[in-house]
Chain A
Amino acid sequence: MLVARRRRKSRMEESKKKKFIVRFEPSGLKVEVPSGTILLDAARKAGIYLSSICGGDGYCGKCKVIIDEGQFQSRPTSLLTPDETRQNIVLACQTKVLSDLTITVPRSHTLETSQILMDTDAHRFSELTGEPEAGVFEFDPLVQKICIEMSAPTVHDHTADHERLYVAIREQIDAPIMQTGFRILQNLSRVLIEEDYKVAVTVGRRGGTTEVIEVEPTKRGKTNFAAAVDLGTTTVVAHLINLTNGTTIDTEATYNSQINFGEDYIRRIIYAEENNAFDEMQNRIVNDVNSLVATLAARRKIDLQDITTIICAGNTAMVHFLLNLDPTRIRREPYTALASFVPPIRAAEAGIQINKRGLLYCLPSVAAYVGSDIVAGVLTTRIYTKKGISLFIDIGTNGEVVLGNRDWMVCASSSAGPAFEGSGVKDGMRAGAGAIEKLTILNDGSIELRTIGNTRPVGICGSGLLDTLAELFVNGIIDRTGRFKTNGEPRLTEGDEGRQFQLVPPGNNHQEIVITQPDIDNLVRSKAGVFAAIRVLMESTQTKLEDLDAIYLAGGFGNFLNIRQAVTIGMLPDVPLEKIQFVGNTSIAGAKTVLLSQKALKAAEKIAKSMTYFDLMSHIGYMDEFIRASFLPHTDLSLFPSVTESVKR
């Protein structure tokens, strides 16, 4: 045995030196790789992006390609049918290159990352924003242009130009400590003389210091723009804002192009760590931000030089990726970030293309798993000012939860997983055209559904999955443990992954859409994670159900989320429905609030500092709560009186 293994090893080493050409059809792109290279990596190297939600783990089954010619070796997988295997269909992430290969990439699986995805979902997501409440914070942007008229120096008033400028600025704004960029200083007198000492000065706040960023002719005094960005794990959203009056001019969104390296940020950290790909990660997110900003500027015919500020909110890992700060300790005990309060830096230093001296602000975060997007959410919903207790839930790839009032706030992050974003579910998809977003099982057993764009159904998105789970439960097709019952339901069939329920039968131009037993297990786990986090926070603070004044639900579900159904499956606490409010993308709303007022920045910093973080991974009660919540709606039915009542009926 030992001999055989040694021989095998030496053979492997020998063949490793060999290089093979892999050709991808229909694009015809070619790449040379060493023998044994994983096909998915070869595709990445060739610049072909295969849809791979699991980041190459071999469980999403999305990276199917057809091998037309050549030698390869694939690991056995249950994600391919025997038919597919006969047709030489393989999972690219489970296949090694052993000779020159020709591969056909099915059209449906490719994703062009350079292009901004302007599908319904991204747009809808970008539009779902609560505008900052007017008048809450005084209008006092972090970066502003002020118009200054000074008298020129005379023999009696020979104060130098620079100090003259400071005096004039201080007449208009409170700026005890000031500094000026060296290049601005070098050109200062020339500009002042040319403009007859009437100039527009761009000043930005960096902590307690006020920096002179630009000195320009007065006619440019009304052109000052900023971008606010929500760095989501899945979606990146940008808003273009006119800083002279605080209005939002335009919005745009794109998918986070890091997604090829893993659907959640922990996987991306692992990928970056193992492949030393931190620069690549930064490039991807910075490019996403740059193309969003460039698109907005082009559409509104704004010079990038007139965008003087960019402000970002996002989970802690995304902020680390953006700035290329080491994120690796986020995933290891004791789970710490490099920085929770990132000082403002010059945007250009991070590679962000706006005014070359423009500033990049990141909202402060609470902990490794509760990021500045959540601080922004608290700021927007104003939980921290209210006497009564509120619950804030942001359901994205992670489910973050905040509970509290003006006296105290506690928060936690549950690794809800992206099931409700359509990932890891057989026919799941993001909320794009053709996604089932609403679904009802009628009394006669037939299914009524609505798709985004009213097109033929392609898959199911988050709100549709939530509906499906609730409807299957309420109609007795699955039991409280989420198992399909055996009651001769005609739509219940046996599929590759065990039992499955047909939602849409196969049609002329579309495949059937099903929900499988593992899908249901996955969704139940996701909702259980969120609810368990809520319970831990409520238990730790002795908050009773009736103490909850309001529940704010933020995140990518869209307005089509059926709140009643979210209670039915036991994801949200069973409170009167009028207490539950969908608040949309509060991450970007909070970022904009801060952008427009220094007082809001102070408030955000105070929020981040005062929130008490509960680490659920080390929390003793979390696992128990999780197991209790892994039922529909819960093991403890007394927590869900209204659901118990409606299911009985």
Chain B
Amino acid sequence: MALTGLEIFKLLPKTNCKKCGMPTCLAFAMALAQKRAKLDDCPDVSEEAKEKLSAAAAPPMQKVVFGKADNQVQLGQETVMFRHEEKFYNPTVLAVTVSDKLTSEDLKKRIESINALQFERVGTKIGVKAIAVINDSGSSDSFTQTCAAVKDGSDLALILVAESPEAIAAAVGQVKEGTPLLVSAKPDTAEAMAKIAKENGCPLAARAESIESLADLTEQIKSEGVEDIVLSLDGLSSRDKLYNLSRVRALALKKIFRPLGYPTISFVTDGDVNTQAAMAISLICKYSGIVVVDTVEPYALLPMLTAVMNVFTDPQKPVQVEPKVYPIGEPDENAPLMFTTNFSLTYYTVESDVEASRVPSYILVVDTEGTSVLTAYSGDKLNEKTVADAMTKHSVENLVKHRKIIIPGYVAVMSGKLEEATNWDVMVGPRECSMLPKYLQEVWK
């Protein structure tokens, strides 16, 4: 496990000199532990400390990048087993296979249908990020041609999957500007594959059937001069595969076992569409950096992408709701209008109490960078100007006929200024939104 802030602190000079730009040595140590600072920022750190710290500071899981410059994908760099411990960094890359046995028309269609696997979900674009070309034919020529066709037909990152170093060498010559991921090196091909990867500056996947032989293999590849390695566990049952992927992760992160400190790739190319979807989602949950599937059915890909989106949400960001007007029930032009902030906990509490009142209403959500009413007010993020701007931006004057706005009781102090800024009548709502039903039923009229 990486050093904690306190452990790093013990190695620092403890002078609180502020030269690093932090108020105390402990603050700097904690920033180092969270990788928000560089050790070089401390001018007085001892050589001994430097040595100890830099060993601990190296990421426990290598970062691996492949694909064309604009559509580069990034793997690895994970630091925790569970998201809530900190966060996950690089979302699982979903890839779809293209066989080099496909004829030109089928090949074109397949590439097009893969390109189409892009979706928008709650305002975020998600989609397949890579194409894995499989050397099913065994021929170097058709593999090379297919790779070239995929490169021309799609901007997605490329994964070249072949057993023989010759096929890989031939194909990579055509597509090396796109920095493809090469799959894969086995003990007998490791030397040749590593040579190709090194010459072309491509990352390389190491493939073995056990964790132990995988570790030996990465050591060998590394000794050939390839740093960017991806792990592939082959020939295991689903259960053993998930179990072993978890072990690899634990060994890399908890034991800082460098030979396994790399991201992983998994192939889910057997079975029907449903089986593929189920297995792919299991692998997304349990530590696959790349999941390669065979299906191009959107109904199967969307749940996989949704799973990726959910698993890789940063739990540290305050959850916010979109700043806009939310109608509750079926409000008409006489319905009450109130505002709150876009901190999701605040909004949903207000929403549920407005619902409970059974008075159809509009809730205007003001963007306060995800802070609650009093925090936003205290920090000057909720004031007459931000509210007036939100009212204008979301055209509340077109929603209701009256000119009354209910404000949270805790910020009653801004009512005068808000009246001046908007010319609307300000009604002071209750402090606790548990009182909103009573307020809406009795005071609002």
Chain B associates with chain A: yes
How far is B432's CA from A542's CA once the two chains are assembled, in angstroms? 35
B30 touches A (CB below 8 Å): yes
Pull 9 A–B residue pairs with CB atoms less than 8 Å apart, ordered by A.
A56-B412, A78-B430, A78-B438, A94-B412, A331-B378, A541-B5, A610-B16, A617-B375, A621-B316
Task: Return the contact of B416 from the options A5, A38, A541 (Cβ within 8 A).
Answer: A38
**B5-A540 in contact (CB<8A):** yes
**A58-B9 in contact (CB<8A):** no
**B432-A612 in contact (CB<8A):** no
Q: Which of B21-29, B95-103, B276-284, B285-293 contacts A (4 or more CB under 8 A)?
A: B21-29
B28 → A minimal CB distance (Å): 9
B122 touches A (CB below 8 Å): no
Residues of A within 8 A of B410 (CB): 57, 59
How far is B420's CA from A278's CA once the two chains are assembled, in angstroms? 24
* CB-contacts of A294-352 with B (<8 A): 331-333, 335
* Interface residues of B, dominant DSSP: helix
How far is B24's CA from A193's CA once the two chains are assembled, in angstroms? 53
For the complex with contacts A77-B443, A517-B432, 17 further pairs of A-B residues with Cβ separation under 8 Å are A8-B423, A56-B412, A57-B413, A58-B413, A58-B428, A59-B409, A75-B415, A78-B443, A267-B413, A274-B417, A333-B379, A518-B432, A518-B435, A522-B432, A612-B27, A620-B315, A627-B345
Residues of A within 8 A of B374 (CB): 415
A521 touches B (CB below 8 Å): yes
**B378-A266 in contact (CB<8A):** yes
A582 touches B (CB below 8 Å): no
Across the interface, name the chain B residue whose C-beta is closest to A519: B432
B111 → A minimal CB distance (Å): 42
**A75-B434 in contact (CB<8A):** no
**B30-A612 in contact (CB<8A):** yes
**A94-B435 in contact (CB<8A):** no
Residues of B within 8 A of A5 (CB): 403, 423
Residues of B within 8 A of A522 (CB): 432
Residues of B within 8 A of A609 (CB): 16, 24
With A408-B6, A541-B6 known as contacts, the answer to whether A331 contacts B379 (CB < 8 A) is: yes
B427 touches A (CB below 8 Å): yes
B13 touches A (CB below 8 Å): no
**B378-A78 in contact (CB<8A):** no
Across the interface, name the chain A residue whose C-beta is closest to B17: A609
Across the interface, name the chain A residue whose C-beta is closest to B374: A415
Residues of B within 8 A of A497 (CB): 432, 435
A410 touches B (CB below 8 Å): yes
* CB-contacts of B367-405 with A (<8 A): 371, 374-375, 378-380, 403
**Binary CB contact string for chain B from 281 to 324 against chain A (1 if under 8 A, 0 otherwise):** 00000000000000000000000000000000001111000000
How far is B3's CA from A538's CA once the two chains are assembled, in angstroms? 17
How far is B5's CA from A94's CA once the two chains are assembled, in angstroms? 51
**A332-B26 in contact (CB<8A):** no
B247 touches A (CB below 8 Å): no
* CB-contacts of B340-390 with A (<8 A): 345, 371, 374-375, 378-380
Residues of B within 8 A of A498 (CB): 434-435, 438
Residues of B within 8 A of A57 (CB): 409-413
A72 touches B (CB below 8 Å): no
With A78-B442, A617-B375 known as contacts, the answer to whether A410 contacts B26 (CB < 8 A) is: yes
Task: Return the contact of A623 from the options B10, B24, B318, B427 (Cβ within 8 A).
Answer: B318
A476 touches B (CB below 8 Å): no
A276 → B minimal CB distance (Å): 15
**B435-A623 in contact (CB<8A):** no
* CB-contacts of A470-495 with B (<8 A): none
Task: Return the contact of A76 from the options B4, B10, B315, B443 (Cβ within 8 A).
Answer: B443
Tally chain B residues at the interface, Cβ within 8 Å.
44
A617 → B minimal CB distance (Å): 6
**B4-A542 in contact (CB<8A):** yes
**B427-A76 in contact (CB<8A):** yes
Tally chain A residues at the interface, Cβ within 8 Å.
50
**Binary CB contact string for chain B from 1 to 45 against chain A (1 if under 8 A, 0 otherwise):** 000111001100000100000011011001000000000000000
A590 → B minimal CB distance (Å): 20
**A612-B428 in contact (CB<8A):** no
Residues of A within 8 A of B380 (CB): 331-332
How far is B415's CA from A521's CA once the two chains are assembled, in angstroms? 25
B439 touches A (CB below 8 Å): yes
How far is B438's CA from A541's CA once the two chains are assembled, in angstroms? 45
A55 touches B (CB below 8 Å): yes
**B6-A542 in contact (CB<8A):** yes
Task: Return the contact of B379 from the options A93, A332, A541 (Cβ within 8 A).
Answer: A332
Residues of A within 8 A of B403 (CB): 5
Residues of B within 8 A of A8 (CB): 423
A397 → B minimal CB distance (Å): 13
How far is B31's CA from A540's CA once the two chains are assembled, in angstroms? 11
Residues of A within 8 A of B52 (CB): none
**A611-B432 in contact (CB<8A):** no
Across the interface, name the chain A residue whose C-beta is closest to B383: A270
B254 touches A (CB below 8 Å): no
**B23-A612 in contact (CB<8A):** yes
B431 touches A (CB below 8 Å): yes
**Binary CB contact string for chain A from 52 to 93 against chain B (1 if under 8 A, 0 otherwise):** 001111110000000000000001111000000000000001
B37 → A minimal CB distance (Å): 14
Q: Which of B24, B27, B30, B315 has the most CB of A within 10 A?
A: B24
Across the interface, name the chain B residue whose C-beta is closest to A271: B413
* CB-contacts of A621-640 with B (<8 A): 621, 623, 627
A9 touches B (CB below 8 Å): yes
B444 → A minimal CB distance (Å): 8
* CB-contacts of A602-623 with B (<8 A): 609-613, 617, 620-621, 623
How far is B380's CA from A331's CA once the two chains are assembled, in angstroms? 8
Task: Return the contact of A408 from the options B26, B315, B426 (Cβ within 8 A).
Answer: B26
Across the interface, name the chain A residue whose C-beta is closest to B86: A620
With A94-B428, A331-B380 known as contacts, the answer to whether A59 contacts B412 (CB < 8 A) is: yes
**Binary CB contact string for chain A from 399 to 416 against chain B (1 if under 8 A, 0 otherwise):** 000000001111000010
**A620-B316 in contact (CB<8A):** yes
A509 → B minimal CB distance (Å): 31
How far is B438's CA from A478's CA once the two chains are assembled, in angstroms? 21
A432 → B minimal CB distance (Å): 24
Residues of B within 8 A of A78 (CB): 430, 435, 438-439, 442-443
* CB-contacts of A399-437 with B (<8 A): 407-410, 415, 424
Residues of B within 8 A of A367 (CB): 23
B102 → A minimal CB distance (Å): 48
A71 → B minimal CB distance (Å): 18
Residues of A within 8 A of B371 (CB): 617
A329 → B minimal CB distance (Å): 10
How far is B423's CA from A58's CA once the two chains are assembled, in angstroms? 20
Residues of B within 8 A of A9 (CB): 423
Q: Which of A8, A59, A415, A541 has the most CB of B within 10 A?
A: A59
Q: Which of A58, A610, A627 has the most CB of B within 10 A?
A: A58
Task: Return the contact of A270 from the options B30, B316, B413, B443 (Cβ within 8 A).
Answer: B413
How far is B6's CA from A410's CA once the two chains are assembled, in angstroms? 11
How far is B432's CA from A627's CA once the two chains are assembled, in angstroms? 16
B317 → A minimal CB distance (Å): 8
How far is B413's CA from A78's CA once the two chains are assembled, in angstroms? 16
How far is B23's CA from A499's CA once the two chains are assembled, in angstroms? 48
**B435-A75 in contact (CB<8A):** no
Residues of A within 8 A of B10 (CB): 407
With A332-B379, A540-B30 known as contacts, the answer to whether A408 contacts B9 (CB < 8 A) is: yes
Task: Return the contact of B431 from the options A59, A94, A270, A623 (Cβ within 8 A).
Answer: A59
Across the interface, name the chain B residue whose C-beta is closest to A335: B379
How far is B406's CA from A75's CA once the two chains are assembled, in angstroms? 11
How far is B6's CA from A408's CA once the two chains are assembled, in angstroms? 8
How far is B415's CA from A542's CA once the two chains are assembled, in angstroms? 45
Across the interface, name the chain B residue whose C-beta is closest to A96: B416
Across the interface, name the chain A residue whose C-beta is closest to B372: A623
How far is B30's CA from A77's CA once the two chains are assembled, in angstroms? 48
- 6 closest A-B pairs by CB: A620-B316, A58-B412, A57-B412, A612-B26, A518-B432, A57-B413
How far is B137's CA from A578's CA once the two chains are assembled, in angstroms? 77
